[in-house]
Chain A
C-alpha cells in the first residue's frame, strides 16, 4: 500500500520539553537519493545565477588559481551538501541522554524555540537511541511537537525528501484531557462518516458522540500529570514529484492521513481521555528506555522489551508491517480492537504509467458521484467495480469455517444480544449462499432481505475486510465472455505452478494454454472456447473462480446501440407525410377525436408533452418548456382542434393527456416539417440514436418505423412494454438490461435477433 512509509514515531511533549517516546522500525533508513538539486558545488556551476560571473566564467577560471569567490569558512558543512549523519556509536556517553519523559526530570529544560539548544544539534549523533534518519531524537521530537494552535488538525511537514504526517492532539490549558464537541466540525466533514457494519474501528466523531458505548458519563475528563501533547507521526520518503501527475502525491498523503493517522490518533486520544492511557504508556516506555540506555544495552533490546510491555509500541509495529505488506492491520490498543488499512491501489497514484487505467474510472466517478453505493471509504483508490444489484459476490480464500467463526466471534465480542445472534445466523446463510452465478438482487430476494439496507452493507463490510470481491455474474453454463487483463499481479510461472496444484486433473489444460485459448477466443463465451463439454462444467466453475480471485479474467459485456439507416429515415418521412395529408383531410372533415390507445409511464408523459409542445409551436430546436410556459404557449396559439393523436406514430411522439391537451392543438404544423422531424437532407445519411430513452420526436418516428412488419410480441417488447430500447445506448451492459427491463436472456436475444439490421453490438469490459 504505502510504499513510501519509512517509520512511525510517537512524540510527546510536556511543560519541560518534548521527547520521542517510541518508534518503529528501530533504525529506519531513507532511500538514498541518487539525484537531487545541488546548486553549490566546488566548481563554479553555482555561479550561473550571477549573470556577470556566468558571462566571465572562463576568465575567472583562467585568471587565477583560486576562485575569486570564497566559500564560507565552514564550507564543509555548507548547508546544502549535507550528508545523513552516520551515527557515531559512542556507548560511553549514552548515559548522558536526556530522560525520555519529563517525569524523570531534565537537566536543562528545552524552550519551545529550538534555537536555544542549537549547539547540541551540531554534536554528532550518539547512538541508535538518539539517531533517527540522521537527526537527533531530541531535535525531531521538538520539531514534531507543534504549538497548541496547530494541534487537533492535520500536521504536515516536508523537509527535503522526508514528509511527516500526523494529527497532533493536546490537553486543555489546565492539563485536562477531554473530548471537544467542536472537533466534530473541524474534522472536515468526517462527522457524517458512518461505518456500515458493526465491530468496525472507530472514527473520532463516533467516539466523541458515544463514549456511551462504554457507559461513561459525558464529558469525561482526565487530569494528566505531565502529558501536554502527543503526536503519532508517519514519516514518509517523499516520492519523486515528477513520477506522477500533479496533485496525486497530495491525494496520496491525504488518504494515508485520513485512513491511518487520524484513526489511530483518535483511538489513542479517546483512551487518553478515558483512562490517561497514553501518559501511562509513555511513562512505562520512558522508564524502560532510560533503564536500557543507562546500562548501555543495545537499542534493539530496548525495542524488544518495549513491544512486550506496551500495546502502543506493538500496535505501531503491526501497523507498520501491515502497511508495508499491503494487508489489513488488526491492532489491539488498550484492549480495543482496531482494524486499519489503506486502499489497495493507493500506490498507483505515484506512478504515472498507470494513469490511463486510473483516469478511466475517475471519469465515471464524476458521473456517478451522486450515488456511489460504495460510500466514502471504499470509493477512492480501491479500484472497485460499481456496486450494482446485478453484480455478484465472490468470496475470497479464507477457509470457510474460519470465516464463519470470525463472524461469530466478532459479533459475540461486541455484544451477545439475541438479535445479534439472529443476525449472525443470517449472515452465515448469506455467506453460504454467495456464489458467482447468483446476483446480489437474487440473493436479496432469496433471503428476503432489502437490497440497499441489508445486502449492500454486508457486501461493503466483506469488501472492506478483503474477504470478498464484487464480480460480474457468471453464467451457470459458463456462457460468459471473458478476456484477459493487461497485466498479472504475480508472474505467470508462479501462477501456473499454483494452478497446476489446484487443478491436477488432466482434462484441464495448463494455465498458459488456458490463457491462450481465452485470448484467442475472439469474444466467444468461455464454454464454447474452453469447456466444450457439459461434464467438465463443475471443474471449470472452480477454474473460473480461481482465476477471478487472482484477477486473471475480465468479464466482457454486451452493449447495444441503435443505428438508423438512411433508407429507413426516408421511409419514415414518407409515411409521416402520408399521415399528415390524411389528418388534414380528416381535420377538415372535423372528425371527432379518438381516445388514446396506449398510455405510458407517468414519468415519460410530462417529458413527452413538453417535447411535443415545443415541436408544435415551432421552437427551432426543441427546448423543454416549463409547464407554465408550455401552457402560455398553448393559450397564445389558439385552440384549433387537431387530431394529431389519432395516429399511432404521433401518439408515440406526443404522449399527451387527451382530455386537456388535445383540444388546444395547433393545426398549422404542416409547413413546419423540417422543425418537427428534421431536415430532409439529413435523411440521406445514416445516424445513431444516442439516447433512445430520451429520443426526440423524429427519433421516435424512426424507432416506430423499425418495428414495421415485425412480430408483434417482439415489437411490443422493443418499444413499449419493457421499452428496452432505452437501454440500447451503448452504455448499459447486458446484465443491467436484463435486471432493469425484467426480461430473460432469451427474450433479449429475441429482440436482438429481430432488430439485427438496426442494432450494433459492442463487446468490451466494464
Chain B
C-alpha cells in the first residue's frame, strides 16, 4: 500500500496567476502553458451574468461551454498585453473527438479562485469535471484602488491526483508572493508584474521535471520549493518494540545526519528493543523513540516483537501466496540457517512454518520438530516470516 503514491508525484497540468481586476472582476493574467484555461470573461465587464443565459444543455455543459470559449481564447491571447504569442499548446489529455482545447473555463471556477475575504488566506481546492485546482487566495490591504489587492496562484491537476504533497508548496508560493507585494508592490505594479509569467513557467517546468525549484523573485525574495513524497504517519513507537532494518542503515549514514539517529542506527539489529537501544546508545529515551519513529516514517525499518521462546506464532492468510513467491523461497534458507550450517530446503522450512500454531510456544515447537539439530536460527526464522507477511 505504501508504494501507491510514494514515488509518483502528480503532474501539474497548468499553472495560472489570477487577480481581482478592478474593472473586470476575477481574471487570469498569465497561465502556463498558454490557452489551456478558457478565459471567457475578458469579453464582458462582469462575467457573472453572461454564462447564465448562454449555458446550453446543462447535462453536457462543459464541452459546449469550453469549446465555445476556446474559440475565443485564441483571440484573447493576442489581445492580452503581456502574453507572448505562442501557439496555444494542446493539452495531452484533450479529447480527440471534440474540438475541446481547454481544460475548463475559468468562469466556472472564478469564484473559488478569487473568492471574497472570508476564503482568503485559506487553502482552497475546487474541482471541475476532470481537473482539480488548488490555490491559496490572498488578499492584501493597502493603498489600492479598492483598498485591497487579491491574487491567487493556482496549480491545476488531474481530478484523481492526490494533492497532499502540493499543499505546503501552494501555501509557500502564496506567502512569498504576498511578501514581495507588501515590500515592493511586485505584483501590482505594471513594471514588475510581467515577471510573474517567467515565475509560472519555471514553476511548471521545474516542479514537473525535477520536483524542486529555486526562483529568485527580487533582490530579497526567492521561491525555494521541493516536493517531498508523502508518507502516512507511523504508529507511535513503544519501548518494547524491536526495530528491524530493511536496508543497510550503517551504509547510508552520512556525517550530517541527526546525531541521535546515527547513534541509534548502530544498535538496530533485529534483536534489541527500543529501550535497550536507548541504553546501549546512551541516548535519551524520548529522542530514541523519535529517531525510531523517523526511520519508520521513511519505511527503512519495521518493528517486530521481542523474540522469546515462550512466544507463539501462527500462520496468516498471506502464506497462501507467499509460499509460491520465488523470492521468499530463495531467501528463506540462507537467512534462517546458522552460520556454517547447511541451508535447509524450502519444503522443510515451509513445513516448519505450518507447524507454528496458536497455543504452542516456540519452545514446544522446537522440541516437537528437533529444531536444534537442523541448524536453524529460530529468531531469524520467525522474524523472516513476520517481515514477509508485513511487506508483501
Q: In the complex where A49-B179, A151-B58 touch, is A688 in contact with B350 (Cβ < 8 A)?
A: yes
- How many angstroms between the C-alpha atoms of A78 and B49 in the bound complex? 32
A685 vs B345: C-alpha distance when bound (angstroms): 7
Across the interface, which residues of A come within 8 angstroms of B125, CB to CB? Answer: 156-158
Asked if B316 contacts A148 (CB within 8 A), the reply is no
B116 in contact (CB, < 8 A): yes
Interfacial chain B residues near A603, Cβ < 8 Å: none
**Which residue of A has the minimal Cβ distance to B233?**
A242
Smallest CB separation, B151 vs chain A (Å): 12
- Interface residue? A522 (CB, 8 A): yes
A760 touches B347 (CB 8 A): yes
Q: With A112-B49, A148-B52, A241-B164 given, is the CB distance from A182 to B320 under 8 Å? A: no
B116 to chain A: which residues have CB within 8 Å?
114-115, 117-118, 121, 139
Q: Per-position contact with A for B353-377: 1 when CB-CB < 8 Å, else 0? A: 0100111100000000000000000
A173 and B141 form a contact (CB under 8 A):
no
Interface pair B26/A113, CB less than 8 Å apart: yes
Decide yes or no whether A422 CB sits under 8 A from chain B.
no
CB distance from B344 to the nearest CB of A (A): 10
Asked if A160 is an interface residue, CB under 8 A from chain B, the answer is: yes
Nearest Cβ distance between residue B180 and chain A, in whole angstroms?
10
Contact, CB under 8 Å: B118 / A139: yes
Q: Of B47, B315, B360, which one neighbours A764 at CB under 8 angstroms?
A: B315
Q: Is B390 an interface residue (CB 8 A)?
A: yes
Which residue of B1, B115, B221 contacts A143 across the interface (Cβ within 8 Å)?
Answer: B115
Check A523 against B1 for contact (C-beta < 8 Å).
no
Which B209-243 residues have C-beta < 8 A from chain A? 220-222, 224, 230-233, 235
How many Å lie between the Cα of A256 and that of B360 in the bound state? Answer: 44
Knowing A39-B175, A151-B61, A186-B59, the reply to whether A159 touches B232 (Cβ < 8 A) is no
**Which residues from B are CB-within-8-Å of A356?**
390
Which residue in B48, B59, B230, B350 is a CB contact (below 8 Å) of A183?
Answer: B59
Judging by beta carbons under 8 Å apart, are A243 and B232 in contact?
yes
B232 engages A352 (CB within 8 Å): yes
Distance in angstroms from A224 CB to nearest chain B CB is 14
Which residues on A sit within 8 Å (CB–CB) of B6? 246
Which residues in window 663-688 of A have CB below 8 A to B?
A: 685-688
Pick from A50-58, A294-302, A612-620 the stretch touching chain B.
Answer: A50-58
B127 at the A interface (CB under 8 A): yes
Given contacts A50-B220, A51-B222, contact A764 B317 (CB under 8 A): yes
| A353–B46 alpha-carbon span in the complex (Å) | 51
Give Cα distance in the complex from A742 to B233, angstroms: 49
Cα(A610)–Cα(B107), bound, Å: 63
Report the bound CA distance from A183 to B58 in whole Å: 10
Any chain A CB within 8 A of the CB of B2?
Answer: yes
Which residues from A are CB-within-8-Å of B20? 115
Given A149-B65, A157-B124, A688–B347 Cβ distance below 8 Å?
yes
**In the bound complex, do residue B123 and residue A173 qualify as a contact, i.e. CB atoms below 8 Å apart?**
no
Do B358 and A521 touch (CB < 8 A)?
yes
Complex CA distance for A359 and B389, rounded to whole angstroms: 11
Q: What's the Cα separation between A761 and B323 when bound, in Å?
A: 13
- Binary B-proximity of A139-158 (CB < 8 A = 1, otherwise 0): 10011001111111111111
Distance from A565 Cβ to chain B, minimum over Cβ atoms (Å)? 8
Cross-chain contact A245 with B221 (CB below 8 angstroms): no
Q: A247-B4, A522-B360 are in contact. Are A686 and B46 (CB under 8 A)?
A: no
Q: Interface residues of A toward B: which range? A: 35 or more
> Does any Cβ of B come within 8 Å of A80's Cβ?
yes
- Chain B residues lying within 8 Å of A353, measured Cβ to Cβ, are 235
Task: Check A712 for interface membership: any CB of B closer than 8 A.
Answer: no
B216 to chain A, nearest CB (A): 10
B348 proximal to A (CB < 8 A): yes
Q: A40's closest neighbor in chain B, by CB? A: B175
- Does A731 count as interface, using CB distance less than 8 angstroms? yes
List chain A residues, Cβ under 8 A from B117: 118, 121-122
> Do B314 and A113 touch across chains, with their CB atoms under 8 A apart?
no
In the complex, chain A residues whose CB is within 8 Å of the CB of B251: none
Query: How many residues of B are counted as interface, with CB atoms below 8 angstroms from the partner's CB atoms?
Result: 96
Taking CB atoms, residues of chain A closer than 8 Å to B358 are: 483, 519-523
The answer to whether A79 and B121 touch (CB under 8 A), given A37-B168, A147-B107, A246-B164, is yes
Q: Does A250 lie at the interface of the complex (its beta carbon under 8 Å from any beta carbon of B)?
A: yes
Interface residue? B16 (CB, 8 A) = no
Q: Is A752 in contact with chain B by the CB < 8 A criterion?
A: no
Residues on A with C-beta less than 8 A from B319 are 730, 762, 764
Q: Cβ of B379 < 8 Å from any Cβ of A?
A: no
* Cβ–Cβ contact B127 & A49, under 8 A: no
Give A566 Cβ to nearest chain B Cβ, in Å: 8
User: Closest approach, in angstroms, between the C-beta of B388 and any C-beta of chain A?
Assistant: 13
Q: Does A207 contact B (CB under 8 A)?
A: no
- Determine if B128 is an interface residue (Cβ-Cβ < 8 Å): yes
Q: Name the one of A247, A559, A763 contacting B5, with C-beta atoms under 8 angstroms.
A: A247
Give A578 to B316 CA distance when docked, in angstroms.
44
Q: How far is the CA of A52 from the CA of B183 in the complex (A)?
A: 14
- Taking a contact as CB atoms under 8 Å apart, the answer to whether A244 and B232 are in contact is yes
Whether the pair B162, A246 counts as a contact (CB closer than 8 A) is: yes
A754 vs B108: C-alpha distance when bound (angstroms): 74
Q: Tell me if B160 and A250 are in contact (CB < 8 A).
A: yes
- Cβ contact of B129, chosen from A46, A153, A242, cutoff 8 A: A153
Q: Report the Cα distance A358→B2, complex, angstroms.
A: 12
Partner of B162, one of A114, A135, A146, A250: A250
B357 touching A149, Cβ below 8 Å: no
* B142 in the interface (beta carbon within 8 A): yes
Which residue from chain A places its CB closest to the CB of B316 in the assembled complex? A764
Is the pair B320, A730 in contact by a Cβ cutoff of 8 Å? yes
Asked if B245 is at the interface (CB within 8 A of a chain A CB), the reply is no
**Are B51 and A160 in touch, CB under 8 angstroms?**
no
Q: Which of A39, A114, A173 is most buried by chain B, counting CB atoms within 10 A of its CB?
A: A114
- Near A by CB (< 8 A), chain B positions 17-61 give 20, 25-26, 46-49, 51-53, 55-61
Q: How distant is A695 from chain B, measured CB to nearest CB, in Å?
A: 14
Is B57 in contact with A172, judged by CB distance below 8 angstroms?
Answer: yes
Check if B120 is an interface residue, CB within 8 A of chain A: yes
Report if A111 contacts B (CB, 8 A): yes
Given contacts A113-B47, A359-B392, A561-B323, contact A121 B118 (CB under 8 A): yes
A580 to B47, CA, bound (A): 89
B195 to chain A, nearest CB (A): 17
Q: How far is the CB of A371 from chain B (nearest CB, A)?
A: 18
Please, how many angstroms separate the alpha-carbon atoms of A148 and B108 in the complex? 8
Residue of B nearest to A156 (CB): B127
- Chain B residue nearest to A49 in the complex (CB): B176
Q: A115-B25, A521-B358, A763-B357 are in contact. Are A355 and B1 (CB under 8 A)?
A: yes
A79 and B345 contact, Cβ closer than 8 Å, known pairs A114-B115, A150-B108, A559-B320:
no
Interface string of A76-94 (1 = CB under 8 A from B): 0011101000000000000
B89 to chain A, nearest CB (A): 23
In the complex where A245-B4, A690-B324 touch, is A522 in contact with B58 (Cβ < 8 A)?
A: no
Could you tell me the distance between the alpha carbons of A44 and B386 in the complex, rounded to whole angstroms?
48
Q: Report yes or no: A150 in contact with B49, Cβ–Cβ below 8 A.
A: no
Of the A-B pairs whose beta carbons lie under 8 Å apart in the complex, a sample of 24, sorted by A's number, is: A37-B171, A53-B220, A80-B121, A111-B48, A112-B51, A112-B111, A136-B118, A139-B118, A151-B61, A152-B59, A154-B127, A157-B125, A158-B123, A158-B124, A171-B58, A173-B56, A183-B59, A186-B59, A242-B164, A245-B232, A359-B392, A687-B346, A730-B324, A765-B316
Contacts beyond the supplied A146-B108, A564-B347: 16 A-B pairs with Cβ under 8 Å: A50-B222, A112-B48, A114-B115, A143-B111, A148-B52, A150-B108, A152-B58, A160-B124, A243-B233, A246-B4, A246-B232, A353-B235, A685-B345, A687-B346, A688-B347, A760-B347
Residues of B within 8 A of A (CB): 1-2, 4-6, 20, 25-26, 46-49, 51-53, 55-62, 65, 105, 107-112, 114-129, 132, 138-142, 160, 162, 164, 167-168, 171-172, 175-176, 179, 182, 220-222, 224, 230-233, 235, 314-321, 323-324, 345-348, 350-351, 354, 357-360, 390, 392
Closest 5 CB pairs of A and B: A79-B121, A246-B5, A112-B48, A522-B359, A764-B315
